Amino acid sequence: MTIRGIQPWRRLTGLAEAVIIIGLPFLRINGESALRFDIPTLRLHLFGISLWMDEFYTVLIATIFVATLFIFLTIMFGRIWCGWVCPQTVLSDMTSFIERDRGPLSCLLLFMISTLVAANLIWYFVSPYDFFPLLIRGELARVTWIFWSVLTIIIFLNLLLLRYRFCATICPYARLQGTLFDDRTLVIAFDEQRRNECMGCMACVRVCPVGIDIRDGLAVECTACARCIDRCAEMMGQRDRGSLINYSFGLPGRKGGLVRQNIILIGSVTLIFFAYLIYLLLSRPLVDMTVLPNPTFQSGPLAERKMLNSYILSIRNRSKDDVELTLKARGLNGRIEMRPEGLIRIRAEEVKRIPVYIKASGVSARHVDVEISIESMDHKMRARKRIRVMVR
Ligand code: SF4
Ligand code: SF4
């Protein structure tokens, strides 16, 4: 079997993307959704890693990496995202039946698709393994119902009324792309050198979802759907000639290599952020500790000429397993005592708050540095904090 033209490949890509986007919330890695932001715990589950709110620096780096990657891909491959993978384009392609028939049945089918797409978006926040049981028992939260309804209406109206017009008029990324293109970016263009071969059949204009004439030159409205390439190939095929419209790096006939200064620069920045992101993900500590003064305890002198200080330790176990950690305090050449000390047990993903009391004495200074540490038996999980305690 031979596949003719570009459109079957685009449809196949769109279908694969739909399967991935719908399926991803159902995929579980380490007992959690492969990709989901859990609102109650403010945690991002990212392919087996659970990022806590205080680790959102990593998410920031990931966002910068994705942004630079997009800039790199846009300079190199132009509107490849819009034409092949943008959900707006993929959904518009998949619901093209509504352009041929606007009857009640088509509208109902479009509404059902919109409902599924809206639910799919919600599954990235509420796990489908919670969503469906709650839905069946009639216990889905009111706020979830509101979001689901509003999203469904927005998606339905978008697919019914806006469709590709969204790309041509509203989408900010489409506007931004024009500023990123250079003379060797991949574009879909009419071959001016073969203009005299054009039959003037207008097939390329009729098939264009945004109604532009590619023969007039590149247009910001073009979504790079490549339909005009296939249509022109069909028409020109009747004369045993190839399509007058094609993908080309820069306008057809333009010479020059693909590696250029801006590509090297933005490619390097993208690689640096990618490497840094990988480093952050691989080196993230699984246990974390904060030490704050105990607000319910007033530090003060004891009868035995010692000063009693109190702090609250917040120890967070980010791993999926219960752990045993050794809690210790060091400082003042061993002349400090901390209670409690020794083994503490913290359940998986638990944040344990432990009040500790530190006695210190024997130096002329009013304050000394003390190091509080926690460490697992195998030394793989550890955290340290240095604090200043009062001395008598
Ligand atoms: S000009 Fe061609 S590639 Fe661009 S939107 Fe129209 S049909 Fe699609
Ligand atoms: S489909 Fe090809 S031959 Fe027909 S008008 Fe467009 S560019 Fe010319």
Query: Which of 232, 239, 245, 246 is the pocket-test mutation for ligand 2 (most atoms within 8 Å of CB)?
Result: 232
Q: In which region does residue 99 sit, left (phi positive, over 0), alpha (psi from -120 to 50) or beta (all else)? A: alpha
Structure confidence at residue 220 (pLDDT)? 86
Query: Which of 215, 238, 246 is the pocket-test mutation for ligand 2 (most atoms within 8 Å of CB)?
Result: 215
Fold for 287-390, please state it. Immunoglobulin-like (2.60.40)
Regarding the beta carbon of 189 and ligand 2, being less than 6 Å apart is answered: no
Q: Residues near 88 by Cβ (< 8 Å), separated by ≥ 6?
A: 158, 166, 167, 171
What distance in angstroms lies between residue 213's CA and the mean position of ligand 2's atoms?
A: 9
Share of the chain above pLDDT 70, in %: 97
Q: Please write the tens of the pLDDT for every residue from 366-375.
A: 778 889 999 9
332 pLDDT higher than 90: no
Query: Atom 6 (ligand 1): residue with closest C-alpha?
Result: 208
Pocket of ligand 1, beta carbon within 6 A: 188, 207-210, 212, 214, 222-228
Angstrom distance (rounded) from CA 74 to CA 82 = 10
Q: Is 221 helix (H, G, I), strand (E, B) or coil?
A: coil
Greatest mean pLDDT range, 180-189, 224-233, 315-324: 224-233
Q: Which ligand sits closest to the CA of 212?
A: 1
Q: Which atom belonging to ligand 1 lies closest to the Cα atom of 221?
A: 5
Confidence of residue 31 (pLDDT cuts 50, 70, 90): confident
Angstrom distance (rounded) from CA 211 to CA 204 = 9
Q: Please write the tens of the pLDDT for every residue from 149-179.
A: 999 999 999 999 999 999 988 888 888 887 8
What distance in angstroms lies between residue 251's CA and the mean position of ligand 2's atoms?
A: 17
Q: Please write the tens of the pLDDT for every residue from 49-102.
A: 888 877 888 889 999 999 999 999 999 999 999 999 999 999 999 999 999 999
Share of the chain above pLDDT 90, in %: 63
What distance in angstroms lies between residue 200's CA and the mean position of ligand 2's atoms?
A: 5
Structure confidence at residue 330 (pLDDT)? 87
Residues facing residue 336 across a β-bridge: 360
Regarding the beta carbon of 318 and ligand 2, being less than 6 Å apart is answered: no
Query: Atom 1 (ligand 2): residue with closest C-alpha?
Result: 232
Structure confidence at residue 81 (pLDDT)? 92
Contact between 287 and 323 under an 8 Å Cβ cutoff? The reply is yes
Regarding the beta carbon of 196 and ligand 2, being less than 6 Å apart is answered: no
Predicted TM-score of the model (pTM):
0.78
- Closest alpha carbon to 376 in 307, 322, 295, 330: 322
240 pLDDT higher than 80: yes
2-20: average pLDDT: 90
Structure confidence at residue 364 (pLDDT)? 63
Q: How do the domains of the chain map onto residue ranges?
A: 182-249, 287-390
The per-residue pLDDT of the chain, averaged, comes to 90
Query: Which of 208, 230, 247 is the pocket-test mutation for ligand 1 (most atoms within 8 Å of CB)?
Result: 208
Query: Atom 8 (ligand 1): residue with closest C-alpha?
Result: 225
Q: Residues near 349 by Cβ (< 8 Å), separated by ≥ 6?
A: 50, 317, 318, 319, 320
What distance in angstroms lies between residue 280's CA and the mean position of ligand 2's atoms?
A: 52
What is the end-to-end Cα distance of the chain in Å, rounded?
88
Structure token digits, residue 74: 């846009």
Regarding the beta carbon of 204 and ligand 2, being less than 6 Å apart is answered: yes
For residues 141, 143, 148, 151, the Cα torsion angle rounded to the nearest 10 degrees is -170
